[in-house]
């Protein structure tokens, strides 16, 4: 599922970034993948995804 349409980033890419330790918050996701760096509409969804990955880790 696409989370960030501006940057074409999927939930799998975000999950992978969190699980491999490349990102642990929306700010690091922005740095790694560009999530939430344009319109910003995906920030909330991205944050929820990061939180759910952290909880299941
Ligand atoms: Fe992610 Fe626009 S949908 S920045």
Q: Is the CB of 4 under 6 A from ligand 1?
A: yes
Rounded to an integer, the average pLDDT of 53-57 is 78
Domains of the chain with bracketed CATH: 2-56 (1.10.10.1100)
> What ipTM score was computed for the predicted complex, to two decimals?
0.98
Return contacts of 50-53, CB within 8 angstroms, 24+ apart.
50/14, 50/18, 50/23, 50/24, 50/25, 50/26, 53/14, 53/15, 53/18, 53/19
**CA–CA gap between residue 1 and residue 16 (Å, rounded):** 14
Q: Is the CB of 10 under 6 A from ligand 1?
A: no
Q: Is the CB of 29 under 6 A from ligand 1?
A: no
Atom of ligand 1 minimally distant from the CA of 46: 1
Per-residue pLDDT reduced to its tens digit, 3-54? 999 999 999 999 999 999 999 999 999 999 999 999 999 999 999 999 998 7
């Amino acid at each position: 599922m696409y989370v960030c349409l501006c940057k074409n980033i999927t939930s799998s890419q975000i999950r992978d970034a969190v699980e491999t330790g490349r990102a642990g918050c929306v700010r690091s996701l922005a740095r790694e993948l560009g999530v939430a760096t344009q319109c910003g509409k995906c920030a909330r969804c991205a944050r929820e995804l990061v939180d759910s990955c952290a909880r299941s880790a």
